[in-house]
């Protein structure tokens, strides 16, 4: 599948950081991770750190799928507001999910400190009302988060204008967010895995899977056989290929990054992630080298040629919105791109086994705007499943909730 188009900034900035060999002979391992993006890298690193023998295979170069197109806004806020999630699954489950995402940001920061050089930086997150009609629900969301111990402040229209320099009816300021370079993080984690004895192979495509009661056999497109005790499918939206049941819908999102700007020009986005209540939402953040990264304009297109044809137009539209939000400063895209991703109906991921395959095939579908924080949570959730332990989020983040 063609996952992205245009010139994703992370790949342009970093290049091909390290090449791994294609798998050339039969292999046996305890855990095979299918997918060498940020999700697969986080899961493989976590399992290896806890004593599991891990091999990773990626059909492209490492990080060259959706990871290269990710904008890596690390937030505990799920695309589904806390109040809506509570109505669907109960308040306790909703709060548990939000707290897990908050913890995941801290865990990612700790990992970033270990591998270094991934541009991890803590930030704040401002969730602002796109129109006055959104204000009542936004205030309800604020009160619910505050009541359950999340570090949030409320800004009315005057406060948003005074503190952030743009006009919005109101906003929630969260003090727990971060940003990073997801492409570098994937490479750093897999380099560490390889150095510690794990195996990493790129340009290796899995063509068939046979899941038995004691082992799983994966066959590559070159006829090479991999036998493992557990298979984890962490292939982004391409994971749907391995399921007959449709569990998400594909969408495309568009983004661009500017040349480096002054701190004054970055304005509110210098140390705060900005996003709005409208759907699809506009979002902005800065990068470690003082660029403005802008994304949004999501649509239902998942045909590569149609998506590719829209990149420039969407980037210009996003630039106009960003310029207006930041007080009319010129916002010029330096690199623009699009990526196709998957979105679930409730904004939650899927981690765990599916009845189609049985208990030895685990899925890591970290879908939605919280893909990276979900992946950090999912690493622990899947380890618990492999080790035969219960995880408090397993019912909510598994296929069980589909009935």
Is residue 176 predicted with pLDDT exceeding 60?
Answer: yes
> Are 341 and 251 spatial neighbours (Cβ–Cβ below 8 Å)?
yes
pLDDT at site 2: 47
Other C-beta atoms closer than 10 Å to the C-beta of 226 total: 23
CA 335, distance to chain mean position in Å, is 20
CATH 3.30.9.10 maps onto the chain at 121-179+249-343
Q: How far apart are CA 46 and CA 237, in angstroms?
A: 22
Which fold would CATH assign to domain 121-179+249-343? D-Amino Acid Oxidase; Chain A, domain 2 (3.30.9)
Mean pLDDT of 130-142: 98
Is residue 244 predicted with pLDDT exceeding 90?
Answer: yes
The helix or strand, by DSSP H or E, that contains position 57, with its residue range, turns out to be strand 54-57
pLDDT at site 1: 43
Is residue 250 predicted with pLDDT exceeding 50?
Answer: yes
Is residue 3 predicted with pLDDT exceeding 60?
Answer: no
pLDDT at site 5: 57
**At 115, is the pLDDT very low, low, confident or very high (cuts 50, 70, 90)?**
very high
Is residue 4 predicted with pLDDT exceeding 60?
Answer: no
CA 93, distance to chain mean position in Å, is 21
The predicted-structure confidence for 256-304, as pLDDT tens digits, reads as follows 999 999 999 998 899 999 999 999 999 999 999 999 999 999 999 888 8
The predicted-structure confidence for 189-220, as pLDDT tens digits, reads as follows 999 999 999 999 999 999 999 999 999 999 99
pLDDT at site 237: 87
CATH 3.50.50.60 maps onto the chain at 24-69+183-248+347-402
pLDDT at site 378: 98
Which fold would CATH assign to domain 24-69+183-248+347-402? FAD/NAD(P)-binding domain (3.50.50)
Q: How far apart are CA 370 and CA 73, in angstroms?
A: 8
Per this entry, what is the length of the chain? 403
Is residue 7 predicted with pLDDT exceeding 90?
Answer: no
């Amino acid at each position: 599948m063609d996952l992205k188009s245009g010139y994703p900034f992370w790949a342009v900035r970093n290049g091909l950081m390290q090449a791994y060999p294609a798998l050339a002979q039969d292999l046996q391992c305890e855990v095979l991770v299918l997918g060498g993006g940020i999700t697969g890298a986080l899961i493989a690193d976590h399992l290896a750190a806890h004593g599991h023998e891990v091999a990773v295979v990626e059909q492209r170069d490492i990080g060259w799928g959706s990871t290269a197109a990710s904008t890596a806004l690390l937030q505990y806020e799920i695309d589904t507001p806390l109040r809506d999630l509570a109505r669907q699954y109960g308040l306790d489950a909703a709060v548990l999910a939000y707290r897990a995402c908050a913890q995941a940001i801290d865990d990612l920061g700790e990992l970033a400190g270990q591998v270094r050089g991934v541009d991890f930086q803590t930030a704040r997150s401002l969730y602002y009302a796109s129109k006055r009609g959104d204000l009542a629900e936004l205030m309800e969301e604020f009160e619910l988060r505050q009541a359950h111990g999340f570090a949030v402040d409320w800004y009315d229209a005057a406060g948003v204008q005074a503190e952030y320099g743009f006009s919005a009816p109101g906003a929630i300021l969260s003090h727990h967010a971060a940003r990073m370079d997801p492409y570098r993080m994937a490479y750093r984690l897999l380099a560490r895995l390889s150095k510690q004895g794990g195996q990493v192979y790129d340009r290796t495509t899995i063509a068939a899977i046979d899941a038995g009661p004691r082992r799983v056999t994966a066959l590559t497109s070159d006829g090479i056989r991999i036998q493992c005790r557990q298979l984890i499918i962490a292939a982004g939206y391409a994971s749907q290929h391995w399921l007959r049941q449709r569990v998400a819908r594909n969408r495309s999102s568009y983004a661009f990054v500017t040349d480096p700007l002054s701190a004054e020009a970055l304005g509110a986005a210098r140390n705060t992630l900005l996003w709005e209540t409208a759907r699809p939402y506009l979002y902005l953040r800065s990068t470690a080298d003082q660029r403005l990264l802008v994304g949004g304009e999501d649509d239902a297109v998942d045909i590569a040629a149609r998506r590719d044809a829209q990149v420039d137009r969407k980037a210009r539209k996003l630039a106009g919105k960003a310029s207006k939000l930041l007080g009319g400063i010129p916002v010029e895209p330096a690199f623009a791109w699009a990526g196709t991703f998957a979105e679930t109906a409730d904004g939650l991921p899927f981690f765990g086994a599916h009845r189609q395959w049985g208990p030895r095939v685990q899925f890591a579908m970290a879908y939605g705007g919280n893909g990276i924080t979900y992946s950090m949570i999912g690493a622990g959730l899947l380890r618990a499943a492999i080790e035969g332990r219960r995880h408090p989020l397993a019912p909510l983040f598994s296929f069980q909730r589909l009935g």
